[in-house]
Structure 1
């Protein structure tokens, strides 16, 4: 039986943990209780569970809660991942216990993957992702400049180092909002595309320019947005949700026809992300309802395809 169904206490506990990590000193107990439709006592019990798991849950003067910086990532790394010496110790013990060669190989393979949660598709609890997110949170708290080492940019198709002031980290959405010191403007970065994070001994100088720009379901940060409306077949629905989970909040069953779904929301005015989705899965898209500019944009882009 899957104990992590949507409304299970364990699922809520993980979600509460993620909220406290992503938005420290934002949520009050009563806010979380309303968010999950439970009593304040349930949220207090969740906090006790986190404390029992060695997470330091603390609050500010307004009783807004957070996980103490640094401790969460370090503890998760310690409990979720075997070190090489621990793996060797377990294998040695199995050999001494006269385990068969077949059993040893099977267990050896499991040891190398069972605690690598990223293999299950969750970057939130992968070791490298946690380390990077933790360093970014520390830099944000200390108002330090960081170097994003070997950032893989889809837009420029280049791998390069970036010097930024990180001011908003969303692990759930895999997004870092930061002020790019070279481009002198707000940029967003995918945390998973950063090879390493180096916190530098350089203080912020552009805090007055920090603000969280609008992010669309395709993780494109752009304050210039337009409303789009598409009708999707089931194939397009599945691909959209799997590739862009944020889009799920903007999908509703079509009222006029079964097996069709409406995708309606604001996206960046250059249609980045959405264009690739439409061109890649056009046979599963029933129609583009609006805007007309999107239809013309897709026609133009499809005409540029060369083989």
Structure 2
């Protein structure tokens, strides 16, 4: 997940909201990996162009001032349609590839439900600050009471965070228990505890691409599905990255999904079980076999066998 220009802009916005009137230009740049003052200023101009007020005090420290007049970060309201349109106009100044990528991202990020109400709440910002500190120190952290989607448990996870994506509410880290790189969601952890133990697995800190269900697996398989409208809505709303693999179907009120997902079908299995009436599996055969096995286990559980 490489940094796009818009991603750094959003990171700067988040930093300003988290630390109003605490950072000067150089410190703000350092927080997001920038050293050129002109580049940092351009990102601030992008924020202003979106209709967001950026102010500077007499000590040259910056802050974002919500125009709504709300005094507490917890009460930030969603962006209006005008806000979204202004940012889309700004995106039009980028190259075609960058603009397409960023527009897709903005569709899911700019309602402050994904970006603001979750990523900008004070507890989430505290988690981000702790993770950024651990990354700077190259220390391990404990994700307290992390709620895993796939293992159905809630427990502490010790990881080495090396990638931070606040606009998506995720971090990329090396899991010291499972010995692999994985994404972790801010909303699934109670808090972050920075440990004194330094990184031990830095050579394995690689930016491994995830599938549209945010599952990191080296082995992926091509999946071909037909979705009804309700299934399509559920897929896109829960997994915005799936949008790029989905097109209008050949029949009315259908959508075609064709994309590579992890070979264990984590994330996809849960989606199909929740929408089985409106999903047709065309390929691969192993996905059908997996769903049959899951369905049999469900029937056994419901029947009390």
Q: Give the TM-score category using the shorter length.
A: 0.5 to 0.7
- CA offset at residue 259 of structure 1? 1.8
Give 3-state SS (helix, strand or coil) of 1:166's partner. Answer: strand
Q: Offset at 1:266? A: 0.8
Matches within 5 A, 1:1-307: 17-18=9-10, 24-25=32-33, 45-46=45-46, 53-54=54-55, 82=72, 114-115=75-76, 120=113, 122-254=117-249, 256-285=250-279, 287-305=280-298, 306-307=301-302
Moved more, 184-193 or 158-167: 184-193
Partner of 1:8: none
Pair 1:225–1:55, CA change in 2 (3 A): farther
Q: Structure 1 residues 82, 171: CA separation in 2 closer, same or farther (over 3 Å shift)?
A: closer
Normalising by structure 2, report the TM-score.
0.65
TM-score of the superposed pair, with normalisation by structure 1: 0.65
Greater relative CO (CA pairs within 8 A, separation 6+): 2
Q: Please give the alpha-carbon distance, in whole angstroms, between the structure 1 residues aligned to 2:65 and 2:177.
A: 35
Distance change >3 Å, CA 184–CA 126, structure 1 → 2: same
Mapped partners of 1:245, 1:133: distance in 2: 22
Residues 83-104 of structure 1: CA deviation (Å, up to 9, x unaligned): 9xxxxxxxxxxxxxxxxxxxxx
Question: 2: distance between equivalents of 1:55 and 1:124?
Answer: 24
Say if 1:184 and 1:14 are closer, same or farther in 2 by CA, change over 3 A. closer
User: Kindly tell me: are residues 55 and 151 of structure 1, through their superposed partners in 2, closer, same or farther at Cα, counting changes over 3 Å?
Assistant: farther
Contact 2:143 2:189 in 1 (8 A): yes
Alpha-carbon offset, residue 20 of structure 1: 5.2
Q: What secondary structure does 1:279 align onto?
A: helix
Query: What is the CA distance between 1:55 and its match in structure 2?
Result: 8.4
Q: CA deviation at 1:211?
A: 1.0
CA RMSD of aligned residues (A): 4.0
Following superposition, the deviation at residue 116 of structure 1 comes to: 7.5
Deviation at 1:17, TM superposition (A): 2.8
Instruction: Identify the range of structure 1 (141-150 vs 273-282) with the bigger mean alpha-carbon deviation.
Output: 141-150
Q: CA shift at 1:293, angstroms?
A: 1.3
Aligned partners of 2:202, 2:221: CA distance in 1, in Å? 28
Conserved 8 A contact 2:150-2:266: no
Q: What CA distance in whole angstroms lies between the structure 1 residues aligned with 2:188 and 2:262?
A: 21
The C-alpha deviation readout for 1:149-176, integer Å capped at 9, x for no partner, is: 1212233322222222111122233322
> CA offsets per residue over residues 7-62 of structure 1, 9 Å max, x none?
xxxxxx98663255799348999x9xxxxxxxxx9867326669962589xxxxxx
Equivalent-residue separation in structure 2 for 1:138 and 1:215 (angstroms): 25
- Write the distance in 1 (CA, Å) between the matches of 2:218 and 2:35: 26
Aligned twin of 2:87: none
Instruction: Tell me which residue corresponds to 1:36.
Output: none
Contact 2:162 2:172 (C-alpha < 8 Å) held by counterparts: yes
Please give the per-residue CA displacement for 1:245-289, whole angstroms capped at 9, x wherever unaligned.
Answer: 2212221112x322211111111101111111111111112x212
3-state DSSP of counterpart to 2:171: strand
Secondary structure at the counterpart of residue 53 of structure 1:
strand
Paired with 1:147 and 1:214, the residues of 2 have a C-alpha distance of: 23
